[in-house]
């Protein structure tokens, strides 16, 4: 792999503040009992938030900084009774580019770039790399 020569640089636009402090024990998905959290956006990106409002559903893209990037297959949800599966067919944080995709709802947005969200399974200190609006009546909060 020659990632250095053909790669791209991404950087945090802010960080997750959450009562979840460790990956062990964190819920796998936001609807599995994840707590409310705050997105602390860096001042240079405050303008990017203009238009984000309370009640809106958003995608948060994070950098899963504790992930193992050399992992190509996993036992889904860490259960050995599951079939060993390619990471692209799972939501495992361990994957070549460990970008987390989280859906949640905005509770409030403050002028100092703090976005409170309803539930988030990312741990405290997780770098945020992007926020996008959910389009239409998209992902359910509960697993069907």
54 binds a copy of itself (CB under 8 A): no
Residue from 21, 68, 88, 110 in contact with a copy of itself (CB under 8 A): 88
Sorted by sequence, the CB contacts under 8 Å of residue 76 that are 6+ apart come out as: 82, 83, 85, 90, 92
CB of 28 to a copy of itself, least distance (A): 10
67/65 Cα distance (integer angstroms): 6
Residue from 24, 47, 78, 79 in contact with a copy of itself (CB under 8 A): 47
Q: What dihedral do alpha carbons 8, 13, 19, 25 form, nearest 10°?
A: -10
For residues 20 and 121, is the Cβ–Cβ distance under 8 A?
yes
Contact stretch for a copy of itself (CB under 8 A) within 17-25, 81-89, 117-125: 81-89
Which positions lie near a copy of itself, rule CB under 8 A? 1, 3-4, 6-13, 29, 44-45, 47-52, 56, 58-59, 61, 63, 65, 72-73, 83-91, 95-97, 99, 101, 127, 129-140, 142-144
């Amino acid at each position: 792999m020659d990632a250095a020569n053909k790669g791209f640089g991404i950087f945090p636009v802010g960080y997750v503040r959450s009562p979840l402090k460790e990956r062990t024990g964190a819920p796998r998905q936001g609807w599995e009992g994840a707590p409310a959290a705050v997105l602390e956006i860096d001042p240079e990106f405050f303008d990017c938030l203009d238009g984000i409002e309370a009640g809106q559903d958003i995608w948060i893209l994070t950098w899963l900084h504790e992930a193992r990037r050399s992992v190509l297959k996993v036992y889904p949800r860490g259960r050995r009774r599951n079939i060993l599966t390619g990471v692209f067919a799972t939501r495992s944080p361990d994957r070549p580019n460990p970008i987390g995709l989280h859906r949640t709802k905005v509770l409030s947005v403050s002028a100092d770039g703090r976005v409170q969200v309803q539930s988030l399974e990312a741990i405290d200190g997780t770098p945020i790399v992007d926020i996008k609006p959910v389009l239409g009546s998209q992902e359910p909060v509960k697993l069907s």
